Amino acid sequence: MRIMVLGGDGFCGWPTALRLSRDGHEVTIVDNLSHRRIDGELGVESLTPIADIDERLAAWQRVSGRSIAFRNVDIAQDYDGLRSLLSEVDPDAVVHFAEQRAAPYSMRNSATKRYTIDNNINATHNLLVALVELDLDAHLVHLGTMGVYGYSGDGFEIPEGYLDVSVSNTEGQAATRCILYPTQPGSVYHLSKSLDQLLFQFYARNDRLRITDLHQGIVWGTQTEETRLDDALVNRFDYDGDYGTVLNRFLVEAVNGYPLTVHGSGGQTRAFINIQDTVRCVALALAHPPPRGERVRIINQLAETQSVKGVAELVASITGAQLAHVDNPRKEAESNSLQASNQTFRTLGLEPILLRDALLNETLEVVERFKHRFNPDVVPARSLWTRENRPGVLPDP
């Protein structure tokens, strides 16, 4: 297949592009390198030293004998650039990772709130409009998030995208309606992903676009089979207060002798998936496109759910680190339950990697190796959900 990977320089997009190229697909990465720009703006760096995009692509050519094309296009701002690239490549599939993806960054200030909405909604809408304008039948695979459903868990399993509800009219007649499972976004970033869902629903119905929306859990892990082939292919490992995910924060803290900073009670439950499974799931979704005219296919892309405290205890049991409870910068319930179906990927044969089985390897392979690049100043969360929150500090090592 000819596949365009939008956001293919990012944490999920880069290893996905490599895997698809290895599988024999003709891959074009489209990225405006905004994550690298934001790193500069925040004064942070990936723990792993990530090569610039030209070096990455040259290294891939060297080790695999395959080439990946790259185009620097801002798909939110440059509609004409995106449309002419789509017309030139005429892709069979487009994988859409190209959004501002950090919830804390989206809550930092008015500018980042506006940027996140402008960037994410325009990126998604431009892509949909261009596919319609060019009359392309490419299968669109979008990376959404389990986080759109919020974390007020009531013990009921979150289905894959849709909910049947019973309605009745004033005459007492009853009927069943299938609706998008209600979202309850907990940040401007998650709000942008909730709005994406409505755009997909409209264009699938109105223009018969073929769309798969993957509702992904928090991705952990760094390397995949392909990114390990050369140092210049290494994937990013973000651990700063804005872009770093909770597990990465715990790992760098543990390896560098700091206590694990658990926000609030740590009773918040989240969905997790390893980066190698992200890549596998995207490949599986590409291999099983929905037929034209079908509603948006929504698949929950998660391996397991764990409480933040549970994850901290797991890291502590491997590394011997202590736990330290700090103020939670987010506005959320102190604790919640979370159950979500991952039936579709299970049925397609996915046997996911679990935290308890692969965490030690991750610690040694990545975090120990690059510990000399660790900067403790960037770890505390600086983005506060409400004015009442207090900024965090990293407790002493």
Cβ proximity to ligand NAD, 94 vs 259, nearer residue: 94
User: Token pair 């102190």 is at which residue?
Assistant: 334
Q: Which stretch binds ligand NAD (CB under 6 A): 28-36, 152-160, 324-332, 355-363?
A: 28-36
Smaller CB distance to ligand NAD: residue 201 or 235?
A: 235
Alpha helices for the chain (secondary structure H): 13-22, 34-42, 53-64, 79-89, 103-106, 110-133, 188-207, 246-255, 275-287, 308-319, 343-347, 355-362
Shorter beta-carbon distance to ligand NAD: residue 314 or 324: 314
Residues 236-255 that bind ligand NAD (CB under 6 A): 245
* Sites for ligand NAD among residues 363-382 (CB under 6 A): none
Distance between CA atoms of 144 and 112, rounded to whole angstroms?
A: 19
Of 189, 203, 239, 243, the active-site residue reads: 189
Nearer to ligand NAD, 35 or 83 (CB): 35
**Comparison of 143 and 296: residue with beta carbon closer to ligand NAD:** 143
277 near ligand NAD (CB under 6 A): no
Contact 83, 133 (CB under 8 A): yes
Q: Quick one: DSSP state of residue 386?
A: S
Q: 145 an active-site residue?
A: yes
Least separation, in Å, of the C-beta of 329 and ligand NAD? 18
Least distance in Å: CB of 228 to ligand NAD? Answer: 18
The structure tokens 């596998």 sit at 280
| Cα 331 from Cα 386, distance rounded (Å) | 7
The percent of the chain in helix, strand and coil, each rounded to the nearest 5, is 40, 20, 40
Strand-strand pairing, 174-180 and 162-168 = antiparallel
Q: Of 79, 97, 105, 345, which lies in the binding site for ligand NAD, with binding defined by CB under 6 A?
A: 97
Residues 135-194 contacting ligand NAD, CB under 6 A: 143, 145
**Are residues 181 and 149 in contact, defined by beta-carbon separation less than 8 angstroms?**
yes
Whether 193 is catalytic is yes
Q: How many residues bind ligand NAD (CB under 6 A)?
A: 27
Angle, vertex CA 381, rays to CA 378 and CA 386, nearest 5: 150
* Beta-ladder partners of 28: 4, 69
Q: How far is the CB of 215 from ligand NAD (least distance, A)?
A: 8
Q: Which of 27, 46, 57, 99 binds ligand NAD (CB under 6 A)?
A: 99
Write the DSSP assignment of 186-219 as a string of letters: SSHHHHHHHHHHHHHHHHHHHH---EEEEEE-EE
For ligand NAD, the closer of residues 235 and 328 by Cβ is 235
Q: Are 252 and 367 in contact (CB under 8 A)?
A: yes
Distance of alpha carbon 216 from alpha carbon 147, whole angstroms: 8
CA–CA dist 294, 61 (Å, integer): 38
By CB under 6 A, name the one of 3, 17, 20, 31 that touches ligand NAD: 31
In the bound state with ligand NAD, the residue whose beta carbon lies nearer, of 70 and 97, is 97
Which one is catalytic: 145, 245, 269, 344?
145
Q: Is residue 34 within the footprint of ligand NAD (CB under 6 A)?
A: yes
Concerning whether 189 is annotated as a catalytic residue, the answer is yes
Q: Is-contact 338 151, C-beta < 8 A?
A: yes
Q: Give yes or no for residue 204 binding ligand NAD (CB under 6 A).
A: no
Least Å distance between CB 28 and ligand NAD?
13
Kindly state whether residue 282 participates in binding ligand NAD, applying the rule CB under 6 A. no
Q: CB 34 → ligand NAD: shortest distance, Å?
A: 4
CB of 116 within 8 A of CB of 105? yes
Contact 275, 235 (CB under 8 A): yes
Is 98 among the residues that bind ligand NAD (CB under 6 A)?
yes
CB of 196 to ligand NAD, least distance (A): 9
Taking the complex as a whole, how short is the minimal distance between the CB of residue 244 and ligand NAD, in angstroms? 10
Q: Which is nearer to ligand NAD, 7 or 329 (CB)?
A: 7
Chain contacts with ligand NAD (rule: CB under 6 A): 7, 9-13, 31-35, 74-76, 97-101, 119, 123, 143, 145, 216, 218-219, 245
* Residues designated catalytic: 145, 189, 193
